[in-house]
Amino acid sequence: MEGGFIAMPTDVILWILGGLILISAVMSLALRNLIHCALFLMVCFLGLAGLYLHLNAVFSGLVQALVYVGAVGIILIFAILLTEGGGTETGSHLGSQWRTGIGLAVLLAFALLGAVSNSPQTTQAARHTEEPTVREIGLKLMTDYLLPLQTIGLLLTAAAIGAVVLAMQEPKPRKDETP
């Protein structure tokens, strides 16, 4: 009984976080206003960060909050403002084959949920070990994970330069418009 008493708040937090994540994910894809979609997406990412914190993965939760809510959310809002002016979409916001798409997604959900419920892997209990310190993470990154770290740095540099090169191309001025 005491164990159940202690485990109860944990479950409640998990269900609240899961509901928040799923509802905000659905809202972020169902609304018509693109800015509202992006804001709900940021709520979803914050819920995921909370889930990681709850799983005792503090560093991952902070990375999630910083990179997704901070960087990706802001860049999404910028892109929305630069393209559609932030207004509501005109006309139908669903593609012509949206029934097929949603049907496929629901089918996949049922198939994967069946696979998960039949899996023998799911009975393991969570370890309650210490979260690795930032010092340990840094040492690992500089020793065992040095090559992936360098590769990801190269990839990020290439992506940043590529994004700038793609987006900065101004339309060429016509000859009769030269000042």
- Residues 90-149 binding other proteins (CB under 8 A) are 92-98, 100-102, 104-106, 108-109, 112-113, 116-117, 119, 121-127, 129, 132, 136-137, 140-141, 145, 148
If one asks whether residue 12 binds other proteins (CB under 8 A), the answer comes out as no
Query: In the range 31-90, which residues lie near other proteins by CB under 8 A?
Result: 34, 37-38, 41, 44-45, 48, 51-52, 55-57, 59-60, 63-64, 67-68, 71-72, 75-76, 78-80, 82-84, 89
Per-residue burial over 166-176, b = 16 or more CB atoms within 10 Å of its CB, e = otherwise: eeeeeeeeeee
Kindly determine how many residues on this chain lie close enough to bind other proteins according to the rule CB under 8 A.
85
Identify which of residues 1 and 27 has a Cβ nearer to other proteins in the complex.
27
- Are 70 and 78 a contacting pair, CB within 8 Å? no
Residue of 12, 13, 16, 29 interacting with other proteins (CB under 8 A):
29
Tokens of 16: 């609240």
Identify which of residues 8 and 89 has a Cβ nearer to other proteins in the complex.
89
- Minimum Å gap between C-beta 41 and other proteins is 5
CB atoms within 10 A of CB 137: 14
Separation CA 28–CA 22 (nearest Å): 10
- Minimum Å gap between C-beta 128 and other proteins is 9
Separation CA 33–CA 41 (nearest Å): 13
- Minimum Å gap between C-beta 63 and other proteins is 6
**Phi then psi for 88, rounded to 5 degrees?**
-70, 145
Tokens of 41: 């997406």
- Minimum Å gap between C-beta 103 and other proteins is 9
- Minimum Å gap between C-beta 28 and other proteins is 6
Tokens of 22: 């799923």
The residue count of the chain comes to 179
* Angle, in degrees to the nearest 10, between helices 73-83 and 34-54: 170
